[in-house]
């Protein structure tokens, strides 16, 4: 099987290596805008299939894996903050509360595809302004969905999770391995 990861995420690349070392990385370059009436829970799957289809056009015989992860809080998607101020605002919102991390995944080959998603509930400790400032000053929150990375210093913010830890990092490893195995055995 020739597997392509349609993502430039170093975390996804690292996690996919737990499944197989035999893959190529070709990041998808897509327009990530969606219709205004798209349900937030559907966004990760829609973006994952767009990414996989975009790369699959040039590699139709390969199995292409597209993925997208969002942080959802009270029905609102918290994207990737590009400024420290926005990261602080996100962390203040999440302080002491539970949010969802949803990763959508899509496998595409020769026009055949399978799409699924995994959801994990993450609860933060109540955070003081000092804790938020200290974390934001690490630089880690920038360019991470929801303004934190659970695999780094962001682990200090998390009281508990319900669901797949690796989903919060960006790739639900066990579920992905099973879907890849099922998808490729149907060829």
Residue linked to tokens 């639900």: 172
Among 22, 42, 68, 133, the one annotated catalytic:
68
Buried b (16+ CB within 10 A) or exposed e, 152-186: ebbeebbeebebbebbbbbbbbebbeebbeebeee
What's the CA gap between 35 and 38, in Å, rounded?
6
Give dist(CA 44, CA 106) in Å, integer. 10
Residue 145: count other Cβ atoms within 10 Å of its Cβ.
23
42 assigned to active site = no
Q: Quick one: which of 48, 54, 53 has its CA closest to 68?
A: 48
Q: Which residues are catalytic?
A: 68
């Amino acid at each position: 099987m020739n597997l392509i990861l349609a993502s430039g995420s170093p975390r996804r690349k690292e996690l996919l290596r737990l499944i197989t070392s035999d893959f190529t990385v070709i990041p998808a370059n897509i327009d990530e805008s969606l219709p205004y009436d798209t349900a937030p829970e559907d966004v990760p799957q829609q973006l994952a299939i767009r990414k996989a289809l975009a790369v699959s056009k040039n590699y139709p015989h390969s199995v292409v894996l597209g993925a997208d992860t969002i942080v959802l809080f009270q029905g609102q998607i918290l994207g990737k903050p590009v400024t420290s101020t926005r990261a602080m605002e996100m962390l203040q919102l999440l302080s002491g509360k539970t949010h969802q991390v949803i990763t959508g995944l899509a496998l595409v080959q020769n026009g055949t595809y399978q799409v699924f998603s995994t959801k994990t509930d993450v609860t933060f400790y109540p955070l003081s302004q000092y804790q938020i400032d200290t974390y934001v000053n690490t630089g880690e929150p920038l360019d991470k969905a929801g303004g934190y990375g659970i695999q780094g210093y962001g682990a200090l913010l998390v009281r508990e999770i319900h669901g797949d830890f690796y989903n919060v990092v960006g790739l639900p490893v066990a579920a992905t391995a099973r879907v890849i195995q099922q998808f490729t055995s149907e060829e």
